Structure 1
Amino acid sequence: MTPSAPSLHTPPPYQPPQGPLVVLYEDASLLVLDKPAGLLSVPGRGPEHADCLASRVQARYPDALIVHRLDMATSGLLVMARGKAMERQLSISFQQRAVDKCYEAVVAGQLQPGQGDVHLPLITDWPNRPRQMVDHTLGKPSPTGDTVLGYDPHQHPSRVALVPHTGRSHQLRVHMQALGHPILGDDLYADPASRAAAPRLLLHASHLTLPHPASGERLVFDSPAPF
């Protein structure tokens, strides 16, 4: 079992970014949105956390329903269903792993090319929720594929493509930290230097493919990382 951090800092007040919705695709069955970093996917606890991507989308599209989430600190591609029938169909696609997702991240240090898949089982770190941790006894299988996209020999971060083969909470963030290459700007898992190296979590949902819930046509979406 990987021990949790000895202490956690108090998170800052929730100050979601303002600005127009970025809708990359819409039809009668689904919406594809580009979520900004710092905005909750769904409402959090308390009225101060009511503002979120789902509520903003539903103000324009009342039939829009959430089918998956991104961490508040993560930006990028997120799908919402139009109506209950499409929600069920999209949920089945996610459950059957018919949806392919790829993230882009900048991590501390030089991640070696060809390191391959990460196979570290994850479990909730209950005393320190919402943190997750590696647990080889009780953790659930959580494979992640990684590909090195580049390395900066001056600042010493690596840019990587990350493919989660399961959808565990904080999967990519925990795996990179466990490898000794935390994602820059990660306020939950990075060491102080890596946390301070970026003004936000440098993790972006950059690629998404999925079957259309009505026609079955394979849809492909891309969103360049904004960092």
Structure 2
Amino acid sequence: MAHFSFSNTFFHTLNLKKAPQLPEKFTFPFYYTPHELSVLAAKDLQTYLETADLNHNFGLKAKAEGLVIGKMFGVMVVQNQDGDLGYLAAFSGKLAESNKVPGFVSTVFDTLDPDGFYKIGEQELNEINYEIECIETSDGFIEIKAQIKKLLANYEADLLALKQTIKEEKAKRKQLRITEAEKLSAEAYEVLLEKLKNESIQYNIKLKMLWVGCEKKLAFYKSAFSEYETKLEDLKERRKTKSAALQKKIHQQYKFLNARGETKDLLDIFKNTTLRVPPAGAGECAAPKLFQFAYENKLKPIAMAEFWWGASPKSEVRKHKQFYPSCRSKCEPILGHMMHGLQVEDNPILEEKKLDEPLEIVFEDDYLLLLNKPPEFLSVPGKTSLASVQTKMQEYLPDNKVLLVHRLDMSTSGILLIAKNERTHKKLQKQFINRTVKKRYVAILNGEISRKFGEIELPLRVDLDNRPQQLVCYEHGKLAKTIYKVVEVSNGKTRIHFYPITGRTHQLRVHAAHSNGLNIPIVGDDLYGTHDERLMLHAEYLEFEHPVSKTKMAITCKAPF
């Protein structure tokens, strides 16, 4: 039988065999390797989750009822005032349609309280929605809309027929003017022209009268329809005003402490961000709940980690039991406030990635060069780091305008193509746009796959809540297509060749890790898999036409792994 320390209390003890080495600083929540204490706490919670009946379908049991919803869980290692170590547990959002689950810290504000203002306000909004629905589904409203639609359709059909007749009659009149000019006397021809002119005027009158007739019929229905519209507009305005007031009141209830004892609500926290207003679900993630409970109960935060529990969602790359950072759009502003007064690990992303040794150039002539980009080095300058391939190449070629034809992710190594002037750059870019350039990447997957070759086509777009991560999105995503061929499978790993047809951000990484792709992340992928010494992805081969000599260029740069 599984053993765990998780109980119905909030402070869960840690089964420590020896006195632990406490971290000097608290976990930086947006990019971290879990501390051993956080791992221990997470394993304890996971052991509990494997046996607990939480009345929630995580998608892990074949016959479970209800909608499959995986969840982010968080653990925070804390120290009480007696110096004892333990951990707190939390989940993001609701669990089994509840905010209160024994053993888990509560939400900062309970929107599910049946006697609370939110539920009362929600009921009032539902009543307005019901009134709107009753009007829009009433027989009278539907009949008037149908009659207006029918009238306009008949008008369009009659108008089309009349215009066709006018066109045909105009052609006939034109022909008569030609044929009768020689047959008739001057006086008779003048009479004919006058007659034809009047015919033309009559058809123009018919055009106007057609719309006048339609307009008279429409006026009757529009008068009745306007009564419905007025009621609907009033109801929708009431709903908008009430909804905005309710949302503001909710945001004011979400009050967050920090280590200094200072309090801010969601409106204060988000007012100076690019979003300006809190996004939906702000404050309901695991991390803010953990911090709030720790501060309210005089517990010292030591370390934290969050993991996914359940089946992978359709859009994101989420693996069961795997650790993930806190979300950025909702949690970054909130945790930025809540961590004031704590000693927190430095953001490793902000560290200047310098490279003292020169870049390895694999080919160079007067027009272009190809180099072997090392891993963990930017292709172009970033927001916080200027050191990059572009800046180093500009130093190497001070008299040229260095232009990268394409880019590689910071973590990816391999062949980068650089143009020495704008004309060359334009010609090379055209080859990439026309997809005549052949590319081959080599990668090591963190698992074994049985298929030898295949094609992956999953459209991608940026995850607005967690830039720069990408989502699979069939509605708004851009086409992303990859061909793959397995080279070798051994020791629980797969060596594979990727042939990207398109060049989307993180394409190969998502296509490898996503459940609808290969479902196995690349070794060392800290965004879609687990952190390791490096990302095992290397741009190994590039084939293109030289823009000046027109000869085929086939460049290979072997992977260092």
User: Given the two structures, how large is their TM-score scaled by the length of structure 1?
Assistant: 0.91
Give the equivalent residue in structure 2 for 1:158. Answer: 494
- Distance change >3 Å, CA 38–CA 200, structure 1 → 2: same
Cα deviation, 1:40-91, whole Å, max 9, x if unaligned, reads: 0000003xx1010111011111322111100000000000001111111111
In 2, the alpha carbon distance for the partners of 1:160 and 1:69 equals 21
Partner of 2:523: 184
**Is 1:8–2:325 an aligned residue pair?**
yes
1:24 equivalent in structure 2? 362
**Equivalent residue number for residue 214 of structure 1:** 548
TM-aligned CA deviation for residue 17 of structure 1: 3.9
**What is the aligned-residue RMSD (CA, Å)?**
1.6
- Hey, what's the Cα distance between the residues in 1 that align with 2:390 and 2:408? 11
Distance 1:107 1:16 in 2: 28
Larger Rg: 2
Contact 1:17/1:36 (8 A) holds in 2: no
Distance in 1 between residues matched to 2:460 and 2:485, nearest whole Å: 21
With CA pairs under 8 Å and 6+ residues apart, which has the higher RCO, 1 or 2?
1
Q: Is the 8 A contact 1:121 1:140 kept in 2?
A: yes
CA distance in 2, matches of 1:19, 1:150: 33
Structure 1 residue 185 displacement after superposition: 0.4
Task: Give yes or no for contact 1:44–1:50 (8 Å, CA) kept in 2.
Answer: yes
Range with greater deviation from structure 2 (8-17 or 67-76): 8-17
On the 8 A contact 2:380/2:390 being kept in 1, the answer is yes
Separation of aligned partners in 2, 1:146 and 1:17: 32
**Does 1:135 pair with 2:473?**
yes
Could you tell me which of 185, 189, 199 is aligned with 2:533? 199
| Distance verdict in 2 for CA 1:104–1:4, change over 3 Å | closer
Distance 1:36 1:114 in 2: 29
C-alpha distance in 1 between matches for 2:474 and 2:393: 40
Distance 2:317 2:538 in 1: 25
- Aligned partners of 2:348 and 2:500: how far apart in 1? 26
Is contact 2:317-2:513 (8 Å) kept?
A: no
Contact 1:122 1:141 in 2 (8 A): yes
Output the CA distance in 2 between the equivalents of 1:151 and 1:4. Answer: 23
The AA in structure 1 aligned to 2:417 is V
Counterparts of residues 56-205 of structure 1 (less than 5 Å): 56-62=392-398, 63=400, 64-152=402-490, 154=491, 156-178=492-514, 179-190=518-529, 195-196=530-531, 198-205=532-539
* Greater helix fraction, Structure 1 or Structure 2: 2
| Separation in structure 2 between the aligned mates of residue 135 and residue 112 of structure 1, nearest angstrom | 26
Flag the structure with higher strand content. Answer: 1
What displacement does 1:31 show? 0.4
Amino acid at match of 2:506: H
Which letter does structure 1 place at the counterpart of 2:315?
A: T
CA contact (8 A) 2:444 2:495 kept: yes
Q: Is the 8 A contact 1:107 1:157 kept in 2?
A: yes
Measure the CA separation in 1 of the matches of 2:526 and 2:356.
21
Paired residue secondary structure (1:208): strand
Correspondent of 1:37 among 365, 375, 394 = 375
Query: 1:131-172, CA deviations, whole angstroms, 9 ceiling, x for partnerless residues?
Result: 1111122211111011101011x3x01000001100000000
**Counterpart selection for 2:557 from 219, 223, 226:** 223
Q: Which deviates more from structure 2 when the two are superposed, residues 158-167 or residues 91-100?
A: 91-100
Percent identity between the two aligned chains? 38
- Are the counterparts in 2 of residues 66 and 81 from structure 1 also a CA contact under 8 Å? yes
Aligned with 1:57: secondary structure?
A: helix
Structure 1 residue 11, shift from structure 2 partner: 4.3
Equivalent residue pairs, number: 218
- Unaligned stretches of 5+ in structure 2? 1-313, 327-346
**Is residue 105–residue 202 contact of structure 1 (8 Å, CA) maintained in 2?**
yes
5+ long unaligned stretches in structure 1: none
TM score, norm. by length of structure 2: 0.38
